[in-house]
A and B are shown apart, each in its own frame.
Chain A
Amino acid sequence: DSGVTQTPKHLITATGQRVTLRCSPRSGDLSVYWYQQSLDQGLQFLIQYYNGEERAKGNILERFSAQQFPDLHSELNLSSLELGDSALYFCASSPRDLRDRGGEAFFGQGTRLTVV
């Protein structure tokens, strides 16, 4: 168990709908990262938050947004869902920013999103 908790584990929804994925980082970790993993694809970086502030943004669609709350949990909001959004969404956390020797990043078990 990595200590990173993601809910829900599975989500099935229809095209055009909006969903929210939740991530609770390891105790004390300030950085949260979101990744998308499509079938047979690697891990695509979406966005990073550090202590409530957006730190870096990757290939995240405008239909997607995220935030990190004062208690450090994070939510990824996906709207106007399309079939192509079906994927595994992973959250990871680290104590600080990895670039500044900020510890290691540990991943949650992911949320499998299926858009039908």
Chain B
Amino acid sequence: GENVEQHPSTLSVQEGDSAVIKCTYSDSASNYFPWYKQELGKGPQLIIDIRSNVGEKKDQRIAVTLNKTAKHFSLHITETQPEDSAVYFCAATPRGGSQGNLIFGKGTKLSVKP
């Protein structure tokens, strides 16, 4: 079945710097890759997603890249701000099978220092 690995588990950056979080997946048939941001005490919030027919997608300070050959995708946050501090989860959607729609990585705790 699908397995999603996420790195790093913690990331600390200075305000204004960029942050990059990387994920790899095992099922080459996975076709949808969302990223979620979870603040303390809240539910995961969808921040950006990408489908397998696209290599890159950008939304203001956030971008996601996908390399299907290498089976990895990354989240890029530029000009980080303190309010970006949260836990970020990547996920993959295996096509077919009985694993369910979203298999999550273990999360990255991002801290942005003022």
Contacts and interface: CB of A to CB of B under 8 A. Distances in A.
Interface in A92-107: 92, 94, 97-99, 101, 104-107
A61 B71 CA distance: 31
Interface residues of B, number: 27
Contacts, number: 72
B35 to A, nearest CB: 11
B32 A42 contact: no
Interface in B37-91: 42-46, 49, 51, 89
A111 B12 CA distance: 29
B37 to A, nearest CB: 11
A58 B105 CA distance: 15
B100 A58 contact: yes
10 contacts: A2-B43, A2-B45, A43-B89, A45-B103, A56-B98, A92-B44, A99-B101, A101-B32, A104-B46, A105-B34
Interface of A: 2, 4, 31, 33, 41-43, 45, 47-48, 55-58, 90, 92, 94, 97-99, 101, 104-110
Interface of B: 31-32, 34, 36, 42-46, 49, 51, 89, 93-107
